[in-house]
Each structure stands twice: as structure tokens, then as C-alpha cells.
Amino acid sequence: MNTTTEALRDEVRRRYAEAALSVETGDACGCGDGDCCGGEADRFGEALYGAEERSELPDAAVLASLGCGNPTAVAELREGEVVLDLGSGGGIDVILSAKRVGPTGLAYGVDMTEEMLALARRNAEEADVRNAIFLKGMIEDVPLPANSVDVVISNCVVNLSADKAAVLTEVARVLKPGGRVGISDVVAEDRLSAADRAERGSHVGCIAGALSKCEYEAGLEAAGFAGVSVEFTHEVADGMHGAIVQARKPHSPARSRQLPVIAAGACC
């Protein structure tokens, strides 16, 4: 791993550890300077969930929500399914998913931050959710076997990875044939260069590291997905949007290919 990648990962880990600890001390999301997903109350976090959904959750899970969407609302979860949330944070989407799939289903959350994992486990216990499992790991190297998951969701986390091709490859690996993706993420308009994105916000703030729409589509297709769709939902900065990302893993595997590095401007 190169030093830039490791430095970015360490910065993300530090900021979200601080956010988890701030929630525990009653200090909201701990990102008052805006240098963290969730800096804008009407564009990130709990405001993107309905009142009925928030009522199902412990207060700490709601306060710890730093996402840019509501992936459980678009993933069409079904009774008995196995769901994986990449970058599960305080557990809001895992808890909601666990409730949707019911006692015969299972919801996994993967996060690299010990403080967030501890918070998520407490939130699941408070919500009396027994079918949620939180695992420590990287979203570029998911600690689950191949073909083990029906649905992969994520909420404003893929943009934080410094190796998005590895993330999308892992999503394809863990999904069962016919499995589907329902991700909320920050996505740039195709007109914005990497420098343009960096001008609009930091990497740890979910802006500078965001893919463009065409880069996301190309990355998913390169990873072997079909039915790829990237749809903007709301603007979070000039030319930057919260978006719903959907795709499915074909029942018949695509022909093996070399996965490209997903780089800003690669397809534009």
C-alpha cells in the first residue's frame, strides 16, 4: 500500500473515530467544522430518513448517521435475505436492514473503526436486533466468503476509499449470482475534474474522493455488473450530488478481464 493511500485511510479512521466518541458524549456527529460526511444537516445524515424509520432506532444511531442517502429505501430488501453494509458506522442502515429481512435474514456491517463498531453493537443491542453482525475490516477486503450475500448497500462510504476498483471487485466477489447493489454515495457531474472536486471539499468530507457518474458506471461494468444505474438525488456542493447507485451481478459470470484503475477523468 502506498503512503498516500495509507495516509488517507488513517485520516478517515481518525475523523470517524472522533465522530463516534462525540456521539457517545452527546456532541452530535463530531463534525462541526464540516470536515466529515454529515457537515450539512439538510444534505447528509438523519434528515434523509423518514420519521417512522428514525422512530425505530436508538437516538445514538440516528445521531451517528453521516450518510448522503438512505440505501435501505432503494435496496428493496426481502424477508430472509443476507445484507452487507460497507462502512456501517454507527449501525443505522444495518439495524434497519436487519428489521427488513426479519429473523430468518441476516445483516452484516463492515467498518474499520473500532469506536464505530462499539457504538453500532450497542445501538443494535438497544434496538433489540439479534440478526445484525458487525465485523472489523476494510471495504477493499471484506471478511466474508464469496457468493455469500444477497444485497450490498453502503451510505456515503465508497467515495472515502482510495482504491475504488478494489471495493467494486469485492462487492462482486461477495454477492451471490443474481445479487444486487443499492448504494448511496456522493457522485460528481462528469464535467468536474479531480482538481474541481478537491476545490469543493476534502477527501474525508466525502467530496474530493468522489467518482464522477461516468467513472462509477464504468467501474461497475468493469467489475462485471449489469443493469448499472447512477441517479442523482440532491446536490451537496456545486456539481456534486447525493446519488443512488444500483446494479446486479449476472447469474452467468462475465468473461474474465483485467480491471482498470478507476481514476478521475478516466472516461470523460
> What does the DSSP 8-state code read for residue 112?
S
pTM for this predicted structure? 0.85
Distance between CA atoms of residues 151 and 71, nearest Å: 11
Average pLDDT, rounded, for the chain: 84
User: Are 152 and 93 contacting, i.e. CB atoms less than 8 angstroms apart?
Assistant: no
Q: Please, what is the angle between helix 213-222 and helix 164-174, to 10°? A: 50
For the chain, domains (ranges, CATH) are 3-248 (3.40.50.150)
- pLDDT category of residue 144 using cuts at 50, 70 and 90: very high
The three-point CA angle 177-73-150 to 5° equals 15
Instruction: Note the pLDDT tens digit of each residue in 182-238.
Output: 999 999 999 999 999 999 998 888 898 999 999 999 999 999 999 999 999 999 999
Contact 187, 235 (CB under 8 A): no
pLDDT at 260: 47
pLDDT in tens, 20-59: 777 766 655 445 444 555 555 444 555 555 555 556 655 5
Distance, CA of 198 to chain centre: 20
Q: 44, 31 in Cβ contact below 8 A?
A: no
pLDDT at 32: 43
Q: Do 220 and 244 touch, CB atoms closer than 8 A? A: no
- Identify the pLDDT of residue 51: 56
Residue 151 has pLDDT above 60, yes or no: yes
At residue 41, the pLDDT reads: 45
| 34-38, 119-123, 179-183: which is most confident | 179-183
Return all residues near 153 (Cβ < 8 A) that are at least 6 apart: 71, 72, 75, 83, 84, 85, 86, 93, 97, 181, 182, 183, 184
Predicted confidence at residue 261, as pLDDT, reads 52
- Burial (CB < 10 A; 0-12, 13-18, 19+), residue 140, is buried
How confident is the model at residue 18, as a pLDDT? 83
Determine the Cα–Cα distance for residues 223 and 19; give it in Å rounded to an integer: 32
- What is the structure's pLDDT at 54? 54
Q: What pLDDT does residue 60 have?
A: 55
SS3 262: coil
Ranking 70-79, 81-90, 102-111 by mean pLDDT, the lowest is: 70-79
> Based on C-alpha coordinates, what's the Rg of the chain?
17
Q: Looking at 76-225, which runs of residues are DSSP E strands?
A: 82-86, 106-111, 132-136, 149-155, 175-188
β-sheet with 149-155: strand ranges across: 132-136, 106-111, 82-86, 149-155, 175-188, 240-248, 226-237
* CB within 8 Å of 151: residues ≥ 6 apart: 75, 77, 81, 82, 83, 84, 175, 179, 180, 181, 182
Per-residue pLDDT of 55-84, as tens digits, reads 665 555 555 455 677 788 888 899 999 999
Q: What is the mean pLDDT of residues 127-147?
A: 97
For residue 256, name the pLDDT band (cuts at 50, 70, 90).
very low
